[in-house]
Amino acid sequence: MHPVVTLVARRVALGLILLWAASVLIFVGTTILPGDVAQAILGQSATPVSLANLREELGLNEPALTRYLDWMGGVLRGDLGTALTNGEDIATAMGRRLGNTLLLAGVAAAIAVPLALLLGIVAVRFRNRWPDRAISTVTLAAISVPEFLLGYLVIYVLAVQWRVFPSLAAVYDGMGWAETLNAIALPVIVLVLAVLGHMMRMTRAAILNVMQAPYIETAELKGLRPIAVIARHAFPNAVAPVVNVVTINLAFLVVGVVVVEVVFVYPGMGQYLVDHVSKRDVPVVQASGLVFAAVYIGLNLVADVVSILANPRLRHPR
């Protein structure tokens, strides 16, 4: 069998094992949390009888292993259970939220990734001259400002003063595409600014790293234009580290944007998770944890596979 296939298969298997391990950790973590779920749900109005009833109803009297197997069985069948707080089907409610989060992350990534690569290449082309300095300064400044402040700044300027985009990013069913994109414009701007610096710096550093290599000199001596040297010869060899940074940032866009969601009132996964954590809605917390773990592991898997494929020595074994 082709060694690349074996390598990729091994990575996928490892990813699945990791996901399973994460599911155990999530389950154990939410089970050993201090306090009793039934007590947390009933709060002040708890009586011994109602506590016992609720424990029975939630199956809390079963041994932990049985509950874990029940839960995993449900997850494998696509049944994430129902939320304790409002009885909604978790898969449906979370599906909508996850869709929103992926939309926001996707649009932000679609702008941020090409822009970061382009800026990185431009910075290398004009390294240590003013375009390089300007790009570095701006992106580093943007990454250094906390996201919520960046959020308030763009709201103040673009929503309150100039009224170009709406300050609320509330999206809901029945909105057209143009309307949706208009609504999420401000959070997208903030997220792009938040991840741009990291990816751009990595691109720049990785390309600079290979610029010293003999084949770059050869390319220059062939008389290629500098931008072509970078794009055709340097960049493909710098892809592996860049892809890793890009995936970390993509994962951040999916799981780490609670603050941005709050500032722009965006109905994404972050707010959903936080609300349910504060209400001790364990099934939702477990399901969200699993989805976040899957996103991280999946994206890292993609990064690994891309790095493997980007390496000609692995693609063309002797």
Kindly write out the interface string for residues 251-270 of this chain, putting x where it contacts other proteins by CB under 8 A and - elsewhere.
-----------xxxx-x---
- Non-local (6+) Cβ contacts of 280 within 8 A are 33, 35, 37, 40, 41, 84
Q: Which stretch binds other proteins (CB under 8 A): 106-114, 137-145, 149-157, 303-311?
A: 149-157
Q: Does 163 bind other proteins (CB under 8 A)?
A: yes
**Exactly one of 152, 256, 306, 310 binds other proteins (CB under 8 A); which one?**
152
The letter for the amino acid at 288 is S
The letter for the amino acid at 307 is S
Q: Does 63 bind other proteins (CB under 8 A)?
A: no
Q: Does 147 bind other proteins (CB under 8 A)?
A: no
Pull the structure tokens for residue 150. 């960046």
- Name which of 72 and 189 has its Cβ closer to other proteins: 189
CB 102 within 8 A of CB 303: no
Torsion sign over Cα 258, 261, 265, 267: negative
* Least distance CB 233 / other proteins (angstroms): 48
Cα-atom radius of gyration of the chain, to the nearest Å? 24
**Which residues in 16-55 contact other proteins (CB under 8 A)?**
43-45
Cα 145 to Cα 44, 113, 160, distances in angstroms: 42, 20, 20
Q: Does 153 bind other proteins (CB under 8 A)?
A: no
For residue 242, the tally of other CB atoms under 10 A from its CB is 26
- Name which of 183 and 216 has its Cβ closer to other proteins: 183
Task: Please work out the total of residues on this chain that contact other proteins, with binding judged by CB under 8 A.
Answer: 36
**Exactly one of 272, 289, 291, 296 binds other proteins (CB under 8 A); which one?**
272
Kindly write out the interface string for residues 82-101 of this chain, putting x where it contacts other proteins by CB under 8 A and - elsewhere.
-x-xxxx----x--xx----
**Exactly one of 61, 128, 212, 278 binds other proteins (CB under 8 A); which one?**
278
- Report the distance separating Cα 123 and Cα 126, nearest Å: 5
Pull the structure tokens for residue 111. 């702008």
* Least distance CB 288 / other proteins (angstroms): 11
Question: Which ranges of 126-175 would DSSP assign to H, the alpha helix?
Answer: 130-144, 147-154
- Name which of 121 and 254 has its Cβ closer to other proteins: 254
Pull the structure tokens for residue 37. 């779920």
For residue 88, the tally of other CB atoms under 10 A from its CB is 12
Q: Does 279 bind other proteins (CB under 8 A)?
A: yes
Pick from 222, 286, 238, 278: nearest CA to 79: 286
For other proteins, the binding residues (CB under 8 A) are 43-45, 83, 85-88, 93, 96-97, 152, 155-156, 159-160, 163, 166-168, 170, 172-174, 262-265, 267, 271-272, 275-276, 278-279, 281
